[in-house]
Amino acid sequence: MSNDFSFSIKTIRFDENYHPSDSTRLTTNFANLARGKSRQENLRNTLRMIDSRFNNLAHWDNPKGDRYSVELEIISVEMTIDGEGGNNALPLIEILKPNIIDKKTGERIDGIAGNNFSSYVRDYDFSVLLPEHNNNKSAFDIPDNFGDFHGKLFKHFVRSTTYRQHFSKPPVICISASSSKTYQRTENQHPILGVEYQQNEFSPTDQYFEKMGMQVRYFMPPNSSAPLAFYFIGDLLGDYTNLELIGTISTMETFQKIYRPEIYNANSAAGKIYQPSLKNQDYSLTQIVYDREERSQLAIKQGKYTEEHFIKPYKNVLEQWAANYAL
């Protein structure tokens, strides 16, 4: 093959002094929080919520509830198309990685890479390609090959030397349950992940992640309001330690409380049969300013940027690579 893709990783600390760089994908939860006059207070309160939730879940040998703190790194992945010449590094993915600080022992524990998942190509697929495919159609449908290219790109990255040099375990992506699906509580319960829910059918997001090589399970952690969707490779319950799982839960549940308080900061917990709703009025707001409308608009802009700077200019190269990629 004349062209292959190589990856590089940049990291930046997500703390109260964090400023999104010009190259940071604007639609991420963390970039949205770090703009405006409330930015530093937003960041400080977000990190405080994460630490509090972590200690709430990691309660053993932790009588004062302050043994652990969480440091977050934003992982930005760029891709270079080999053989094209010039500086053609393209922004591809942004994920988060928690690092757990045990203040009792002084140990620094790696968390799980993934958590939040932001992808330029995914924005293109959902915000540009899918609407165009359904334009002037009486019934919504999804193209047969929808997500194929993105899935191959993601698997290529996770299998790459670059990924293995930085991370010891496969990623776990933790996002909101779908508001269009119904979930049923099961009898299965994990001490950290909580009670498991199952859904009535796969959502388009589930199908999209499946093409990335990821399975999904839904768990509602102790003292949570709603189940979270965990996308993983391998064995979610067997491959990760309790503290690693708590790092992901405390981080992403905090972001969801800010971003979707109607669901994840609801005043009553999900029942045996549950359908999330952004129209729920019985919820509490956090003290964190978040512009949800801005985020949705930026996803469209980011998708169009990807089309202009990646999909169209490299169309032939991308199609050739995808056709020859061994799954």
pLDDT recorded at residue 27: 46
- Top pLDDT among 296 and 10 is at 10
The percentage of residues in the chain with a pLDDT greater than 70, rounded to a whole number, is 89
- Top pLDDT among 184 and 324 is at 184
pLDDT recorded at residue 23: 54
Summarised one tens digit per residue, pLDDT across range 194-207 is: 999 999 888 889 99
Q: Could you tell me which of 175, 188, 206, 204 has the C-alpha nearest to residue 276? A: 175
- For the segment 297-316, the average pLDDT, to the nearest whole number, is 87
User: pLDDT-based confidence at 14, cuts 50/70/90?
Assistant: confident
Report pTM: 0.92
pLDDT recorded at residue 143: 87
- Top pLDDT among 27 and 70 is at 70
pLDDT recorded at residue 288: 82
Q: Is the pLDDT score of 228 beyond 60?
A: yes
pLDDT recorded at residue 221: 98
Summarised one tens digit per residue, pLDDT across range 176-194 is: 999 889 999 999 999 999 9
Q: Could you tell me which of 175, 181, 173 has the C-alpha nearest to residue 276? A: 181
Task: Compute the half-sphere exposure of residue 62: CA atoms within 13 Å on the CB side of its CA.
Answer: 19
Among the residue ranges 80-89, 120-129, 153-162, 273-282, the one predicted with the least confidence is 80-89
Q: Are 69 and 52 in contact (CB under 8 A)?
A: no
Q: Which helix (H) or strand (E) holds 117?
A: strand 114-119
- Top pLDDT among 283 and 204 is at 283
Mean pLDDT score of the chain, rounded to an integer? 89
Q: Is the pLDDT score of 148 beyond 70?
A: yes
- For the segment 295-308, the average pLDDT, to the nearest whole number, is 83
pLDDT recorded at residue 204: 86
Q: Are 77 and 108 in contact (CB under 8 A)?
A: no
Summarised one tens digit per residue, pLDDT across range 123-140 is: 999 999 999 999 888 888
Query: Cα–Cα distances in Å, from 309 out to 7, 92, 157, 315?
Result: 17, 12, 20, 10
- Top pLDDT among 108 and 137 is at 108
Q: Which helix (H) or strand (E) holds 71?
A: strand 68-81
Q: Is the pLDDT score of 24 beyond 60?
A: no
pLDDT recorded at residue 84: 56
pLDDT recorded at residue 17: 76
